[in-house]
């Protein structure tokens, strides 16, 4: 039985939208990990958003950690979340754990440009 269809046509039903995102294969889920660029980066690179990557410096614009900035420590493609250095919560036993944040709540302040193919420019 087929669990995911690639020819989904933007339903207005929230249930179908959530099901599409939840059951999508990893190469499609990776595309959901994009975030907007800051105004300076948008003018410099002539693009509005780009996929998040470890090493990018981001600013949180929504939620409990609004206004905080930090570097991306890891990206979880399966759960479509990002973990940022310095944004963590304290567990009951006292240990600290990184807090998962959705990419739509972030704005990229500084890009990690170690990979030339990331910006579409190859050697």
- The CA distance from 69 to 85, in Å, is 9
- The CA distance from 85 to 65, in Å, is 12
At 120 the pLDDT is: 72
Q: What pTM does this model have?
A: 0.85
How many CA atoms within 13 Å lie on the side-chain side of 106? 30
pLDDT mean values, one per 10 residues, the chain (123 residues): 71 88 90 94 92 94 94 95 94 95 95 82 54
Alpha helices, DSSP H, located in the chain: 14-23, 26-29, 39-45
Pair 69, 59: CB distance under 8 Å: yes
- Domains of the chain: which residue ranges? 35-113
Please check whether the domain covering 35-113 is classified as CATH 2.30.30.30: yes
DSSP 63: S
């Amino acid at each position: 039985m087929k669990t995911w269809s690639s020819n989904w046509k933007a339903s207005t039903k929230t249930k179908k939208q959530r099901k599409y995102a939840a059951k999508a294969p990893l190469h499609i889920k990776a595309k959901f990990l994009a975030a907007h660029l800051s105004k300076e980066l948008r003018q410099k690179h002539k693009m509005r958003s780009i996929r998040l990557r470890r090493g990018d410096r981001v600013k949180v614009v929504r939620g409990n950690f609004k206004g905080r900035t930090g570097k991306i420590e890891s990206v979880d493609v399966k759960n479509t979340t990002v973990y940022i250095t310095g944004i963590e919560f304290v567990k009951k036993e006292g240990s600290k754990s990184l807090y998962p944040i959705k990419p739509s709540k972030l704005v990229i302040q500084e890009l990690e440009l170690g990979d030339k193919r990331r910006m579409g420019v190859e050697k």
